[in-house]
Amino acid sequence: MDDYTLPFWIYLGVLAVFVGGAMKKILASHLSTAPTLVAWLGVTVLAERLWAFCLPALLLLMLLGLVWCLHATTRTRPPPPPLSAQGKAVFITGCDSGFGHATAKRLDSLGFEVFATVLDLSGEGARELQRTCSPHLTLLQVDITQSQQVDQALLDTRAKLGPRGLWALVNNAGVCVNYGDAELSLMSNFRGCMEVNFFGTLSVTKSFLPLLRQAKGRVITISSPAGDQPFPCLAAYGASKAALNLLIATLRHELEPWGVQVSTILPSSYKTGQSTNQAYWEKQHRRLLQGLSPALLEEYGEDYVTETKELFQSYASHANPDLTPVVDAIVQALLAPQPRVRYFAGPGVGLMYFIHSYCPSSISNRFLQKLFVKKKLMPRALRKQSSFDLDLSLHNNNNNNNEEEKLK
The one-letter code for the residue type at 216 is: K
Residues annotated as part of the active site? 237
Burial bucket for residue 91 (CB in 10 Å: 0-12, 13-18, 19+): buried
Please compute Rg for the chain using Cα positions.
27
Burial bucket for residue 260 (CB in 10 Å: 0-12, 13-18, 19+): buried
C-alpha angle 129-132-136 in degrees, rounded to nearest 5: 75
Distance in angstroms (rounded) separating the CA atoms of residues 23 and 50: 18
Distance in angstroms (rounded) separating the CA atoms of residues 201 and 246: 13
Cβ atoms of 94 and 173 closer than 8 Å: yes
Distance in angstroms (rounded) separating the CA atoms of residues 96 and 126: 6
